[in-house]
Amino acid sequence: MIHAPKICVVGSINMDMTIQTRQMPRQGETVLGQSFALYPGGKGANQAVAATRLGAKVTMIGAVGEDEFGVTLRKHLQGEGIHTDGVIKNSEQSTGVANIILSEGDNRIIVAPGANAAVTEEVIDRHENIIQQSDIILLQLEIPLTTVAYAVKKAKQYHIPVVVNPAPYQHLPKEIIQDTTYFTPNEMEAEAMKKEAASSSIKDKMVVTLGSEGVHFYEDNMKKKVHSYSVPVKDTTGAGDTFNGAFVTQLAQGETLSRAIHFANAQLHYQSRKWGHKQACQQ
Ligand code: RIB
């Protein structure tokens, strides 16, 4: 493929409100944190940024509220070179936010989707041309599941491969299971999927990210493993998103599944160190 791969990310845009603390609070407990920062986030937006930084031409379909966070996040996406024609403004709900606690090299996240809930089937219809002109579609589950199912159906209609990152996990309707090209769950999400779908039917579509254990996938009916790299952990937020953005960039360029996974796995480790979550929004 000579041209830059064209990727459509249909997904969430959040402002991440991140507190770093030495001690994760227990139920009912208050602890003192060390720092607070606002970062542009949302699984969809993070994945779009990763793919763009790797040379893809990315268009995002998503939603922000008519508020300061919405303005900041749209500017952030545009500053990264992402096409935002498909990002609508919703006057009824505030921009999505994520409450993130960073502690002991790991995180806990609660997302209040807000305007992300406004990414409806009608929004997909309005931007159908973006889907039609893409080499691949990438979705996650921070927008309504009905919209995810609809976008997957549209992709199928145009014979465009589609990757679903099933996070945060929700029960997936049969149509999504059938028509998705690849799923990129983490270990817990993969377990939940296996319980719900006949695992033999989804085995070949599963690219399971296992953190420090690397990535599992099936090729020629055999389970394969790509080992992780050892890097100092600062902030794991968005590591999976980097994997997804890199993975689709490679698939869209016609790489094999195995090569796309190796590349994405390496990017995850290299880029999490390089990009981290340093790109604070200037408020
Ligand atoms: O995957 C990390 C992302 O999950 C954060 O940026 C947060 O916004 C949530 O969507």
Provide mean pLDDT across the span 153-166. 98
- CA atoms in the 13 A half-sphere facing the CB of 266: 7
Please give the domain boundaries of the chain with CATH numbers for all domains: 6-26+33-281 (3.40.1190.20)
Mean of the per-residue pLDDT values of the chain: 92
Q: Which of 70, 274, 45, 255 is nearest to 142 (CA)?
A: 45
Q: 14 CB less than 6 Å from ligand 1? A: yes
Q: 98 CB less than 6 Å from ligand 1? A: yes
- State the distance from the centre of ligand 1 to the C-alpha of 48, rounded, in angstroms: 12
CA dist 149 → 92, 178, 249 (Å): 24, 10, 22
Q: 241 CB less than 6 Å from ligand 1? A: yes
Which residue's CA is the closest to the ligand 1 atom numbered 8? Answer: 42
Classify residue 55 as left (phi > 0), alpha (psi -120 to 50) or beta.
left
pLDDT higher than threshold 80 for residue 270: no
Query: E strands within 49-144?
Result: 57-65, 83-90, 96-103, 106-112, 136-140
Neighbours of 30 (CB within 10 A): 5
Q: 46 CB less than 6 Å from ligand 1? A: yes
Lowest mean pLDDT: which of 88-92, 104-108, 265-269?
265-269
The fraction of the chain above a pLDDT of 70, given in percent, is 93
Instruction: Return the amino acid letter for 65.
Output: G
DSSP state of 3: S
Question: What is the distance between the alpha carbons of residues 252 and 273, in angstroms, rounded to a whole number?
Answer: 25
Give me the pLDDT at residue 278, please.
43
Question: What is the distance between the alpha carbons of residues 6 and 124, in angstroms, rounded to a whole number?
Answer: 17
Q: 17 CB less than 6 Å from ligand 1? A: no
pLDDT higher than threshold 90 for residue 46: yes
- State the distance from the centre of ligand 1 to the C-alpha of 98, rounded, in angstroms: 7
Neighbours of 47 (CB within 10 A): 32
Active site residue 135: no
- The residue from 16, 135, 235, 241 that is catalytic is 241
Q: 237 CB less than 6 Å from ligand 1? A: yes
Provide mean pLDDT across the span 107-113. 96
Instruction: Return the amino acid letter for 56.
Output: A
Span 47-80, pLDDT tens digits: 999 999 999 999 999 999 999 999 999 999 999 9
- Token pair in block for residue 71: 């303005």
Residue entry with tokens 């919405």: 70
Cross-sheet strand order for the sheet of 106-112: 35-41, 14-20, 96-103, 106-112
Contact 35, 68 (CB under 8 A): no
Instruction: Determine which helix (DSSP H) or strand (DSSP E) holds 187, and give its type and residue range.
Output: helix 187-196
pTM of the predicted model as reported, rounded to 2 decimal places: 0.94
Give me the pLDDT at residue 233, please.
75
- State the distance from the centre of ligand 1 to the C-alpha of 40, rounded, in angstroms: 9
Q: 41 CB less than 6 Å from ligand 1? A: yes
Give me the pLDDT at residue 283, please.
30
Give me the pLDDT at residue 282, please.
32
Pocket test of ligand 1: the residue of 9, 15, 16, 243 to mutate, having most ligand atoms within 8 Å of its CB, is 16
Span 195-212, pLDDT tens digits: 887 666 789 999 999 988
Lowest mean pLDDT: which of 110-124, 237-251, 262-276?
262-276
Q: Pairing state of beta strands 57-65 and 136-140?
A: unpaired
Give per-residue burial for 221-232: e unless 16+ CB within 10 Å, then b.
eeeeebebeeee
Lowest mean pLDDT: which of 95-99, 210-214, 228-232, 271-275?
271-275
- State the distance from the centre of ligand 1 to the C-alpha of 227, rounded, in angstroms: 24
- State the distance from the centre of ligand 1 to the C-alpha of 110, rounded, in angstroms: 9
Cα separation of the two ends of the chain? 40
